[in-house]
Chains A and B, each alone.
Chain A
Amino acid sequence: MVMEYNPAIPLLRPHIDLDNQGFWEAVKQHKLVFQKCKDCGLLVHRPRPMCPRCNSTEKEWAPSSGKGKIYTWVNFVYANAAYPGIKVPYLVVVVEMEEGVRMISNMYDSRREDIYIGMPVEVVFDDIADDLTLPKFKRSAA
């Protein structure tokens, strides 16, 4: 089942700043990118102002294959402990991408019974509002 939002509750929007805006601009264009150091090549997520390995501030946005595996997950069951703007139950996952970085996301349309650690997934872009797109995941064939 597809995640459902409660239109009466404001969506939680990312706090976009100069360090992370490239990620969110790409997502809006239905592309997934990760911060890559131009000097030493280290990929990191979440974005940050400096490469944590070589301290370079020269960085670029490297396209991701969009493919990965579920690394861990939780199921928000109880409404009072979940975000009221999203109908429970909903699944939050940590996906380990092929490139090696991990990101927090949602399963776009999976049931709790169908997911497991190690499950192959691929990114899908959910335009949840005119001005907000979120990168989510669905089961991939791989």
Chain B
Amino acid sequence: MSVMRSIKNKAAIVGIGISSFSRDSQRTELRLACEAIKVALDDAGLTTEDIDGLVKQTDDASDEHAVTSSMGMGNLTYFGECRWGAAPGAMVMRAAMGVAAGAANYIVVYRAVNGSSGRRMIPSMRTSGQMSTSDLLQWTFHAPFGHMSEAGRVAMIVRRYIHEFGINSEQFGWVPVVCREHGAQNPNSMYYKKPFTIEDYRKSEMVVEPLRRLDYYEEADAAAALVVTTAERAKDLRQKAVYVLGAAQSMVPETEELNSYYRRSISGLPETAQVGKKVFSMAGVAPKDIDCVQLDDSYGPFVPMQLEELGFCGRGEGVDFCNGGNHIRSEGELPLNTSGGSLGEGHLHGMNHLIEAVRQIRGTSTAQVEDARLVLVASGAGGPASGLILGGK
């Protein structure tokens, strides 16, 4: 029996589809999902008959069988789900493993959310009746104290980070500024042609102190899909193949759904650190080799922390690295979230970050990085995490 040592270079992303981001899509989530998948198939030059695998986000409302029956697919030999903020990178990893192992030939990864107009897929506030898993046990010791929002949990970690590293919290504003500048260049984005400055950030009201309104992702209705196949099949398809060079998921001791207050240090993102070690080792590259990053910017202050944990700068130096924005703009040394990300394009739970990584390697971004060859994507921050290093050949 052969042992698959690594999936490096065994799988490629060959098709992408993404909707525009809007306040109200006027469409069901299932329709959004089907439309995004159709765009991805057309992009790849494939048809529904080619698709034999689906990977879904656990909380996504559009079940696999609803997608197959809506689109006239159905000969699936591989399907499964990934959870939490870690889902986007993990879904591609799962699809890459599926094609590399021969479980399916062409696997679609998809996500569709009416996150602005409709029900919220990761509700900011939940009651115990909406939970059926062990998340309820965490909720039990948080919610009675009025502490049940995602933002509140992030704010706890950010406060500790500020405290331990002497951060001036106004400097957190540079990540939202740069992401929204990138979004302003992207016709798909919520911030298209909308100017945004550090002064807007400074004037932004506190919501859950120390987080301001403009530290938060931009709620949106949107959908995205991508097609993964083997490296061999990718060569025969229409688009420039984008290869999976590194892929990893991570949980560490005391990881919770989002943030743990109970482990020794809570001022970092140890899951992200572990993802970084694995993806760099698998891809055989180092942080200095990366041309562009697409990081989880659901909450802006977690971006400098991810830069630190992934080895792009030292512990406590991430905020200085982002200060002024020049390092992380599309023309800087480490361009960040060049489609705008969750802060500047719209919140699709990290899926737009994957799509943008592919565009960068194809050379089709609206904030194109010159000669982008290696892109790192990180999904999930402060809970289960995943990451990818994608590249052309």
What residues make up the interface of A, taking CB atoms closer than 8 Å to B?
Answer: 11-17, 19-20, 44-46, 48, 52, 71-78, 81-83, 85-86, 90, 92, 94, 101-106, 112, 117, 132, 134, 136
Contacts and interface: CB of A to CB of B under 8 A. Distances in A.
Given A46-B137, A83-B125, A94-B156, A134 B145 contact: yes
A13 B156 contact: no
Listed residue (A15, A17, A132) with the most chain B CB atoms within 10 angstroms of its CB: A15
Contacts of B127: 12
A14 B141 contact: yes
B148 A74 contact: no
A139 B185 CA distance: 50
B206 A75 contact: yes
Interface in B100-151: 124-125, 127-128, 136-149, 151
A59 to B, nearest CB: 16
A13 B207 contact: no
A83 B210 contact: no
Contacts of B261: 71-72, 94, 102, 104
B155 interface: yes
B16 to A, nearest CB: 33
A74 B140 contact: no
B159 interface: yes
B210 A20 contact: no
Interface in B266-308: 266
Contacts of B206: 75, 77-78
Nearest to B127: A12
Contacts of B163: 72, 117
A43 B219 CA distance: 41
A31 B323 CA distance: 48
B391 to A, nearest CB: 39
Listed residue (A14, A45, A134) with the most chain B CB atoms within 10 angstroms of its CB: A14
Interface in B142-175: 142-149, 151-152, 155-157, 159-160, 163
Nearest to B152: A74
A86 B127 CA distance: 15
Contact of A15 (B124, B137, B148): B137
A123 to B, nearest CB: 13
A86 B143 CA distance: 11
B66 interface: no
B141 A92 contact: no
A20 B140 contact: yes
Contact of A82 (B136, B144, B149, B266): B149
Interface residues of B, number: 37
A46 B137 CA distance: 8
Listed residue (B124, B139, B142, B147) with the most chain A CB atoms within 10 angstroms of its CB: B147
A52 B124 CA distance: 30
B210 A74 contact: yes
Given A81-B152, A102-B262, A103-B141, 19 more contacts: A12-B143, A12-B146, A14-B143, A15-B128, A15-B136, A16-B140, A17-B137, A20-B141, A44-B262, A46-B262, A48-B137, A72-B156, A74-B210, A81-B124, A81-B151, A92-B146, A104-B147, A106-B146, A134-B145
Interface in B202-219: 205-210, 213
Contacts of A46: 137-138, 140-141, 262
Contact of B142 (A73, A76, A81, A104): A104
B144 A132 contact: yes
Contact of A76 (B136, B152, B266): B152
Contacts of A74: 147, 152, 155-156, 159, 208-210
Contacts of B209: 74-75, 77, 112
12 contacts: A12-B143, A15-B137, A16-B140, A46-B141, A72-B160, A74-B147, A81-B208, A83-B143, A92-B156, A104-B141, A104-B142, A104-B147
Please name the 9 residue pairs, one residue from A and one from B, whose CB atoms are nearest each other, closest first.
A75-B209, A83-B146, A74-B155, A72-B160, A14-B140, A78-B207, A86-B146, A12-B143, A92-B147
Contacts of B160: 71-72, 117
Nearest to B143: A12
B128 A92 contact: no
Nearest to A100: B264
B208 A15 contact: no
Contacts of A104: 141-142, 145, 147, 261
A13 B127 CA distance: 9
Nearest to A48: B137
A2 B262 CA distance: 27
Nearest to B263: A102
B139 A75 contact: no
Contacts of B136: 15
